[in-house]
Amino acid sequence: MAAHVNGIRTYGQGKPGFGPELQAPVEALESQYETVSGGDNGTTEDMLVGNAGGPGGAAGPGIWLTGIAGDPKAVVVDHLDIDPSNVSLVRFCHDQFYHVCMAWSVPDELLQTWTSGSSWLSPMTPNPENGHFTPLSDVDASGNYRLWTWGGWCWVSQDFVMSVQPQCFVTLSPLQFNAQGFDSHGRHVSDVGSAWVSIGGDTAIVSALVAKYPAKPSPAPGPDTIPSGTFVDPDGGPTNTPVS
């Protein structure tokens, strides 16, 4: 899940000034996961963004705070738990921060028949033995979310999400911004930081993040004139285009 979110942010909707998409080396990702989870035992939110990122879930900063797959740039700086039943908040997070992270119980039928590009738009029966972490990113015209998992993605509805025992959080990361401090929507880090604070984010953390970038110019550029650098299209795959 964390690696997917890092990739979505660095892809930057495929716009100039963003990319290449950050892709974690599989061996390093698996090694870190198995060390922290104590084998193939799954992770918890505390292991990712809390204080249980040591071997076997021992005390230590979460691995998304220190670097996914050991990459010190593949980090988040803050996280907030959110209520998945609050549709307006979920959509706000998609629009402002490109994702929502979801822990859920995968229904047996989905686990057995899932294919990339499929749609799951009705409530289903969750199996608590099938715990899973995935990001939701993108909202289509019908209000469905794109769920990224298993090397692909599928569409899920709000009704589906609420049926599978969801627990959700959202993260803030410097990976969202280019060197000039803009994201692919043309929003400056100071504005995105204000959005983060508005939903309960830490003001001191936001201030420290904003200070790492050039100040917002006046007037600010629009989304079609984002200050950019060299961009390399990583894979031409689906882009993150939240509806807001």
Cβ atoms of 188 and 225 closer than 8 Å: no
Name residues of the chain where pLDDT drops below 70.
220-244
Q: What is the pLDDT of residue 241?
A: 35
Under DSSP, the state recorded for 60 is B
Under DSSP, the state recorded for 216 is P
- CA distance linking residue 126 with residue 151, whole number of Å: 21
Q: What is the pLDDT of residue 219?
A: 74
Q: What is the pLDDT of residue 161?
A: 98
pTM: 0.89
Q: What is the pLDDT of residue 224?
A: 55
Instruction: Name every residue whose Cβ is closer than 8 Å to that of residue 115 and which is 6 or more positions away in sequence.
Output: 152, 154
Q: What is the pLDDT of residue 226?
A: 56
Q: 57's torsion region: left (phi>0), alpha (psi -120 to 50) or beta?
A: left
CA distances from 213 to 96, 107, 166, 183, 205 (A): 18, 44, 35, 12, 14
Query: What ranges do the domains of the chain cover?
Result: 2-22+73-225
- Sequence-ordered alpha helix ranges (H) in the chain: 2-11, 26-37, 45-49, 63-66, 87-97, 108-113, 158-163, 189-198, 203-210
- CA distance linking residue 98 with residue 158, whole number of Å: 17
